[in-house]
Amino acid sequence: MVMKRSRSTFLRLSLLAGMVAAGRAVSPAWGDSSGDPLPSWNPGLAKDSILAFVKRVTRADSPDFVLPADRVAVTDLDGTLWPEQPMPVELFYAIDRVRALAPQHPEWQTQQPFQAVLENDREALLASGKAGLVEIVAATHAGMTTDAFTHQVQNWIATARHPRTGMRFTEMVYQPMRELLDYLRTHRFKVHIVSGSEVGFTRSWSEPVLGIPPEQVIGSVVKTQFELQGATAVLVRQPELVFYDDKDGKPRAIEHFMGRRPIAAFGNSNGDVPMLQWTQSGEGARHQLLVHHTDGDREWAYDRQTLSGQLTTGLDTARANGWTVVDMQQDWRVIYAA
Amino acid sequence: MVMKRSRSTFLRLSLLAGMVAAGRAVSPAWGDSSGDPLPSWNPGLAKDSILAFVKRVTRADSPDFVLPADRVAVTDLDGTLWPEQPMPVELFYAIDRVRALAPQHPEWQTQQPFQAVLENDREALLASGKAGLVEIVAATHAGMTTDAFTHQVQNWIATARHPRTGMRFTEMVYQPMRELLDYLRTHRFKVHIVSGSEVGFTRSWSEPVLGIPPEQVIGSVVKTQFELQGATAVLVRQPELVFYDDKDGKPRAIEHFMGRRPIAAFGNSNGDVPMLQWTQSGEGARHQLLVHHTDGDREWAYDRQTLSGQLTTGLDTARANGWTVVDMQQDWRVIYAA
């Protein structure tokens, strides 16, 4: 019988204390002094649509009132809650791991997609496509227990910085989206992340950084193997992706992980469209929102032409279905809290 | 845009109202008038171990205090919360569906395992093993949307009865286990079902019958396909089991669905052993419990020799690891509430 005295919760809290302090993490208060719950949102259609929807489903006298248990919102992560340029955050982690592991893998010097990583050739890396990325994730996210992986990711994200902004990734959460999540939670919504990122990666930091606990994170899944090390049971992560949470995988994963259809969904790319369609096809009032990256000065400007987070059919579908499209340049007073 | 006026929550509530009334469902109050939270448990080691564990992890002055967010318990379903003799409840559903669908499948008359079902040959059915059961589940749990399946299961379980007791299945929830779940929830535990049953089947009734919402149900998973019917998105269930939640699959599924290690786990068969080992291998205070079916008069008596819910290595592992083994005959004052 295992009877270690140290406590995982306290460990986790102390490990992440620096991040919470640095990254502003979950806002302790709600809204600004004027009572505006979304002070970083400029007046406009996007802000109005959010406020109107929340009133519609939470006021007891509304014909569209929704019981708290059914107030489920889902949100994409990369490009929706923080930037995904030049590539998703998890890929920065994977690249740092490839570099750290390279001395044990001399064959990577001449083997794609690893060579591209080691030579800092971002074009070649992104050109390796989904297959290349899956290979990198497999090589860097496996071969250790689930607990060891969690600690490795926590140590990385506590210090890693974005190469262009020099900010910690955890400081780059979009302040308007943070306010939106807080606003929903104040109205007894449960917010779930639904991301292509591997679920163990995101769960390692989602609670201190975004206020979203592990059980509310849905994502891609690597295979695990159950092993007994003496009397101690561990799960060892295997170099095999068994589920890729993108496009039609997103609604399928929502059904599979939680079995409840969301009433609100936020995304930013083609990969989020089926999730928003699934959300909208439920009964009663619904809200769908796409973040459109229009601000090349304060963030990045891209939609139809990009290797990361492409938005083409999404814009057309949004127009046809009456979804809210956020124009980052127009609608967001600030991008980051700092 | 879909704008139907009817509301899924109200539909669900009214559909299941009969079950709640008939099956006692979630107990509104807690314990009996003497203040005993587990009145259906006879005094003894099993009851003591539960009471001691809950005190140990919930009292603020305890060195083993656990924050409410980490108070996660997992429980098997068939054989742990209600009977699994002569077979798991889901199989009764599948058999009723095979019979209902048989006119559309004349080939089933001479094709196993369907022939066994139609001829009421339980021995031949169980002899078809996991492969046969998977085939029956595939034939009866697929070819319809997730919503249609949920309604079909709800309609079935509202009236289906066990062939030996004549009771509704929902009336056969073990009263001592119902008290245990209530006792844990009163102490801010979240209880998750972890069952070999297909997750959509269990989620269709778990909340009104056991007070466990869909997102706290973990189980086997059938493939789904995303389809647009006009502008309406649906998920269509496919005749393919993509995950079987038993044995080492149980801890893997817990990690995959929720990413948090439980501190208490309840089961009754060999298939639950890895889940209990995984639970025990975490840090801090833990509780593992196996229900041993020893009461042939009031329920069923079986362990090493049975086609459903075999318990062999589990008893040995329980002894070696200090798990609580419930002797149904000795430890439970009543089996069912009725």
| B116 band by pLDDT with thresholds 50, 70 and 90 | very high
Q: What share of chain B is helix, strand, coil (3-state, %, to 5)?
A: 45, 20, 35
Question: Among B190, B216, B255, B272, which would you mutate to test the A interface (most chain A Cβ atoms within 10 Å of its Cβ)?
Answer: B255
Q: Which residue of A has its CA nearest to B279?
A: A233
DSSP B101-159: HGGG-GGGGGSTTHHHHHTT-HHHHHHTHHHHHHHHHHHHS-SSBHHHHHHHHHHHHTT
Q: Residue B134: its pLDDT value, please?
A: 84
Q: Which residue of B has its CA nearest to A250?
A: B226
Which residues does chain A have within 8 Å of residue B213's beta carbon, measured at their own beta carbons? 69, 260
Contact (CB, 8 A) for A188 and A209: no
| Residue B66 dihedral angles phi and psi, to the nearest 5° | -120, 130
Where helices occur in B204-272 by DSSP H, the ranges are 206-210, 249-257
Distance (Å) from the alpha carbon of A324 to chain B's nearest alpha carbon:
13
Q: Which residue has the higher pLDDT, B288 or A11?
A: B288
| B26 band by pLDDT with thresholds 50, 70 and 90 | very low
DSSP B290-332: EEE-B-TTTS-B-SSS-SSS--SHHHHHHHHHT-EEEEHHHHB
Question: What CA–CA distance (Å, rounded) separates B136 from B54?
Answer: 41
pLDDT at B193 > cutoff 60: yes
Question: What CA–CA distance (Å, rounded) separates B67 from B79?
Answer: 30
Closest CA to A175 of A333, A17, A299, A16: A333
Fold of B39-85+168-331: Rossmann fold (3.40.50)
Q: Residue A24: its pLDDT value, please?
A: 41
Distance (Å) from the alpha carbon of A4 to chain B's nearest alpha carbon:
5
Output the average pLDDT for chain B: 90
First to last CA, chain B: 48
CB contact under 8 A, B200 and A4: no
CB contact under 8 A, A283 and B258: no
Question: Tokens 């929903």 — which residue?
Answer: A184
Instruction: Closest CB to B252: pick one of A224, A258, A284.
Output: A224
Length of chain B equals: 338
> What's the pLDDT tens digit per position in B269-311?
999 999 999 999 999 999 999 999 999 999 999 998 887 889 8
Residue A17 CB neighbours (<10 A): 13
CB contact under 8 A, A284 and B226: no
Q: Which residue has the higher pLDDT, B319 or B5?
A: B319
For A271-289, what is the mean pLDDT?
97
Q: Residue A21: its pLDDT value, please?
A: 38
| A31 band by pLDDT with thresholds 50, 70 and 90 | low
> What stretch of H or E contains B220?
strand B217-229
| B338 band by pLDDT with thresholds 50, 70 and 90 | confident
Question: What CA–CA distance (Å, rounded) separates B41 from A263?
Answer: 42
Least confident of A280-294, B24-38, B164-178, B264-278: B24-38
Check the CA dihedral B245-B251-B252-B254 and report its sign.
Answer: positive
Q: What is the CATH number of domain A32-86+171-331?
A: 3.40.50.1000
C-alpha dist (Å) from residue B23 to A125, A259, B76, B164: 59, 23, 20, 17
What is the biggest distance separating any 2 CA atoms in chain B, rounded to whole angstroms? 67
CB contact under 8 A, B278 and A235: yes
Q: Residue B33: its pLDDT value, please?
A: 66
- pTM for the full predicted model: 0.90
Contact (CB, 8 A) for A133 and A93: no
